[in-house]
Amino acid sequence: MNKFTLLLIGLFAINNAVNAQWTAVNNGLPNSGTNTDVESFAYISANLFAATSSGVYMTGNNGGIWTGVNSGITNTDIEALAAVGPYLFAGTGHGIFMSSTSGTSWNAVNTGLDTSMGTSVYALFADGTNLFAGTEAGVFLTSTYGTSWTGVNTGLPKLDFYAFAKCGSYIYSGGFGVYQKPTSGASWSELTSGLPPLLDSDFESFAVSGTNVFAGDLGGGVYWSNTDGASWSAVNTNLTNLHVHALAVSGSKLFAGTDGGVFLSTNLGADWTAVNTGLTDLNVQSLEVFGSNLFAGTGNGVFVAPLSSLAGINETENEDMHISIFSNPCNGTFQISNDASEVMQVELFDVTGESVLQKELCSGTNQMDISNLPNGIYIVKFTAFKGSFEKKLIKE
């Protein structure tokens, strides 16, 4: 079997059902979790905050109970949240509010914002002590914790902006199109290669994994670039709903929140699997990795799933060869249990099809060390007299 065939088998094998276990966690949210749009999350230390259409809510126990923290917020239609150190910012339908007390009290911080097109603030993004705001009149920046804002709109249309990301030495902004500027530069450039035309796009989310940037479009699905934004490719295989509101990354896992629920890719978007067991509202508007859990904000409240239940491991088997891998995903070491009496060969391939490890596998438990290899997806090929088969391994 050649490397190309092996890679296809490993990365695009028939999807098995993924044991995703979502649980609604809406105790304390307005309307008991019904008709409660949750547009954004942010966290400070052990406290997770949710932006809802009825204000900001906080939980200190992974959603076990939520408490409203809105004193001083004069508009409770919350569109966005972001934390800069101990300071929490809320973007609303009428400007920006800041709390230095974990939400127990808020103050309006709107000096310098352009309200000529409206007062809605759709996105907030923290880069160190810099905070970007996406508004109806473009992009604004503060480095003084909101005491004053400056427009950073050179090269931008005066339109709504819904999302930001940083990758390497560039900041990305999204709305009607995707734009990029150097972190130390003032001028934005529109990115067009491989992306839909400006008026046919509605980019509401970004995610970054290493040098890979993912952009979620409301209608066009997910686009990927690993060329500093110079070119993009649609990565939508098995992504059955292309209305992407949210993206999130945890290790090698990429999650997309859509109008059709949550989808998972473990191979940089090359293939997607729906992970919606227990998710009773598929209108997913926001995602947040918090500790060992993934939180999903929907049109009807918040759901949580342990990341361990969203592994997304697809594999092929040979029933005559009794092999198991644990832990998978791993963090550098893993074990292979060989229940057969015969010795077999094991070979590890990276996603380019390059062989990166060969070893003889004895019966019993075999310790494997790949701490010298980069994080990512690997295909493990087992070969013996009875034949061969492959398993997927993730290092994170």
Contacts with 12 (C-beta within 8 Å, 6 or more apart), sequence order: 237, 270, 271
- CA dist 335 and 130 (Å) reads 44
The distance of Cα 151 from the centroid of its chain, to the nearest Å, equals 28
Which residue type does 128 have?
A: G
Q: Are residues 137 and 107 in the same domain?
A: yes
State how far the alpha carbon of 210 is from the alpha carbons of 81, 214, 291, 307, 329, in Å. 24, 11, 20, 20, 18
The CATH number given to whatever domain includes residue 337 is 2.60.40.3080
Tell me whether residue 223 is in a domain. Answer: yes
Q: Are residues 155 and 84 located together in one domain of the fold?
A: yes
Q: Does residue 12 belong to any structural domain of this protein?
A: no
Q: Is 9 contained in some domain?
A: no
Q: What is the CATH number of the domain that holds 64?
A: 2.130.10.10
With respect to residue 318, please indicate whether it lies within any of the assigned structural domains.
no
Tell me: do 132 and 40 sit in the same domain. yes
Distance CA 204, CA 170 (A): 18
Domain end residue (candidates: 310, 337, 364): 310
Taking the alpha carbons of 275, 279, 280, 284 in that order, is the dihedral positive or negative?
Answer: negative
Kindly report the pTM of this predicted structure: 0.76
- Assess whether 369 and 280 both reside in one domain: no
Query: Is residue 150 situated within a structural domain?
Result: yes
**Co-location of 263 and 352 in the same domain:** no
- What does the pLDDT profile of the chain (396 residues) look like in tens digits? 444 343 433 333 323 333 448 999 999 998 877 778 999 999 999 999 999 999 999 999 999 999 999 999 999 999 999 999 999 999 999 999 999 999 999 999 999 999 999 999 999 999 999 999 999 999 999 999 999 999 999 999 888 999 999 999 999 999 999 999 999 888 999 999 999 998 889 999 999 999 999 999 999 999 999 999 999 999 999 999 999 999 999 887 899 999 999 999 988 898 899 999 999 999 999 999 999 899 999 999 999 999 888 865 444 455 556 678 887 888 889 888 877 666 788 888 876 567 899 988 887 888 899 999 988 778 888 887 666 777 888 888
The rounded distance, in Å, linking the Cα atoms of 72 and 36 is: 21
pLDDT at 328: 81
Residues 380 and 240 in one domain: no
Backbone angles phi, psi at 130, to 5 degrees: -85, 140
Q: Does some domain include residue 30?
A: yes
If one counts the domains in the chain, the total is 2
Based on the fold, state whether residues 189 and 287 are members of the same structural domain: yes
157, part of any domain: yes
CB 45 within 8 A of CB 83: no
Name the nearest CA neighbour of 80 among 67, 63, 93, 99: 93
- Domain limit, last residue, from 289, 310, 331: 310
- Same domain for 350 and 212: no
Distance CA(306)–CA(358), nearest Å, equals 33
Q: Please, how many CA atoms are within 13 Å of residue 270, restricted to the half-sphere of its CB?
A: 12
Strand, coil or helix: 383:
strand
Same domain, 389 and 282: no
d(CA 227, CA 237): 21
β-bridge partners, 263: 256, 274
In a domain, residue 171? The reply is yes
Quick one: 251 and 278 in the same domain?
yes
Based on the domain organization, do 217 and 271 belong to the same domain? yes
Boundaries of domain holding 27: 18-310
DSSP string, 257-269: EETTEEEEESSTT
Within this chain, do residues 275 and 334 fall inside the same structural domain, yes or no? no
**Which one of 310, 335, 365 terminates a domain?**
310
The torsion angles phi and psi of 330, rounded to 5 degrees, stand at: -125, 170
